Amino acid sequence: MSLSAGGTTREPGGVQGVLFDGARLRLFLARLRWPDGFDCPACGHDRYWLRGDTLYLCCACRRKTSPTAGTVMDKTRLPLSKWLQAIWYVTEETGGVSALSLQRALGLGSYETAWAMLHKLRRAMEPTSGKLKGYVEVDESFVGGNEPGVRGRLSKTKAKVIIAIEKRGLGSGRVRLRQIDDFKTETLSAFIEEVVENGSTVITDGFSGYRTLTNHGYTHDSRPVKGKKHPDGRKMQAHELLPAVHRASALLKRWIMGTHQGAVSKELLDYYLAEFAFRYNRRLSRHRGLLFYRLAEQAMQTGPKPYVELLTDPAGKRRKRKVKAARAKRAAGTVGKPKNVPRVQPRRPGGKTTKLPTRPSRSAGSW
C-alpha cells in the first residue's frame, strides 16, 4: 500500500485528492493499531472476521472492535479520512497550523471541531524515543506575555518551562520540554531524571537548583556566567555558554508568538510543548510523508481524551462559555445561520410527504 500522497494539500493530487476509501483506510489504521496482527481487546484472541469497512469481529468472543477504539480517535463522529487529512495537513506545514486554518483546509463545519482535533493530535505528539543522552544542556525559560521590569526567575505571571536538549558538536539533537510550577531543586532534578539517561553529562548555568545533580548519577558541568570573559575582555553571555538550549528557547517563543499569535494558555501549554518537541525533533527530516506516518502511528497508540475532558480544563471552560454565548445569539436570530428548520421533502406526485433525518449535530460536546 502506498502512502505517498504527493503534492500539498492545496494542489490537486494532494491529500484532498488521495482517496482513502473504506477498505484501504481500515487496513492502514489496523496495521498501525495492531502492528503484530489483530489482538482482541476483550479476550486477546488473534482471529477475526471483517464487518463492513471498519469493524473487526473477534472469532472467539464475538466482540466487535474498531481499530480506532481506545485511541485519540475514539468515538469520533468525523469520517476517519478527515482525521488522516488533518494529520497530513498538520505534518506538512513545518511551522504548525492554527485551528482556523485546519477548519478551512478540511472544510469542517465548526471551529470547535478543528480545535479539539488539533488538541487530540497534540497529545499524540508526546515524545516516545526514550531518554536523552550524551551531553545535555538544561535551562529554564519563560513563556507568555510581557512583565515590564521583571527579569528571569522572578517572573510571576509567565509560564515556567524547563528545557533539556542534546548537544551534538555545534548543533543539537533531541529536545524535551515541560511546564513546571517552581524552580525548586526537587522539581528540576525530577524532570532531569525523567528525561535524561543516567551517566550523561548535564550542562547548566550556575543556578543553585542544579547543585544536587551529581547525587543522581550525572556528571554536572556547571557554567556560571558571572565573571566569564572572552579572551578580548568582553563579558560572556548566557547564550554563549549554553547555546543549544537558548536556541531552542528562542525558537519556542517565536513559534508561540508566530503560529499561535501568543494565544496559548498555561493550562494547555503542555500540549503545545509536545507539538514543539515533535516538530523540533524532526526538523531535519526531508520526507514529510514519514512525519505523517509517525503521527498517524502515535495517534493510534495514544489513549482517548474526550472533548468534554478537554473542556473541563479551565481554558476549555472559557471556550465552552464562548460557544454557548454564540449559540444563544444564533438562536435569538441576531446573528449567523438561520434556526434549525425541519427538512421536509417536497411532495411527489402521488407520494407522501416524508420528514428527512436531520444531519448529525456537530455541536460542542457531541464527540
Q: Choose one: 21-29, 43-51, 120-128, 170-178; the region binding Zn ion (CB under 5 A).
A: 43-51
Residue 49 or residue 322: which is nearer to Zn ion going by CB? 49
Residue 23 or residue 61: which is nearer to Zn ion going by CB? 61
Q: Choose one: 33-41, 77-85, 191-199, 284-292; the region binding Zn ion (CB under 5 A).
A: 33-41
Least CB distance to Zn ion at residue 64 (A): 10
| Options 61, 150, 331, 332; binder of Zn ion; rule CB under 5 A | 61
Residue 17 or residue 37: which is nearer to Zn ion going by CB? 37
Q: Is 331 in the site for Zn ion (CB under 5 A)?
A: no
Q: Is 58 in the site for Zn ion (CB under 5 A)?
A: yes
Q: Choose one: 28-36, 59-67, 174-182, 347-355; the region binding Zn ion (CB under 5 A).
A: 59-67
Q: Is 64 in the site for Zn ion (CB under 5 A)?
A: no
| Options 3, 23, 27, 42; binder of Zn ion; rule CB under 5 A | 42
Q: Choose one: 38-46, 271-279, 309-317, 330-338; the region binding Zn ion (CB under 5 A).
A: 38-46
Q: Is 325 in the site for Zn ion (CB under 5 A)?
A: no
Single-letter amino acid, residue 12: P
Q: Choose one: 41-49, 113-121, 256-264, 334-342; the region binding Zn ion (CB under 5 A).
A: 41-49
Q: Is 43 in the site for Zn ion (CB under 5 A)?
A: yes
Q: Choose one: 1-9, 50-58, 76-84, 218-226; the region binding Zn ion (CB under 5 A).
A: 50-58
Q: Is 65 in the site for Zn ion (CB under 5 A)?
A: no
CA atoms of 325 and 159, how far apart (whole Å): 29
Residue 56 or residue 89: which is nearer to Zn ion going by CB? 56
Q: Is 45 in the site for Zn ion (CB under 5 A)?
A: yes
Residue 45 or residue 211: which is nearer to Zn ion going by CB? 45
With beta carbons less than 8 A apart as the criterion, state whether 188 and 208 touch: no
CA atoms of 167 and 165, how far apart (whole Å): 6
| Residues numbered 253-272 forming contacts with Zn ion, rule: CB under 5 A | none
Least CB distance to Zn ion at residue 21 (A): 27
Residue 55 or residue 308: which is nearer to Zn ion going by CB? 55
Footprint of Zn ion (CB under 5 A): 40, 42-43, 45, 58, 60-61, 63
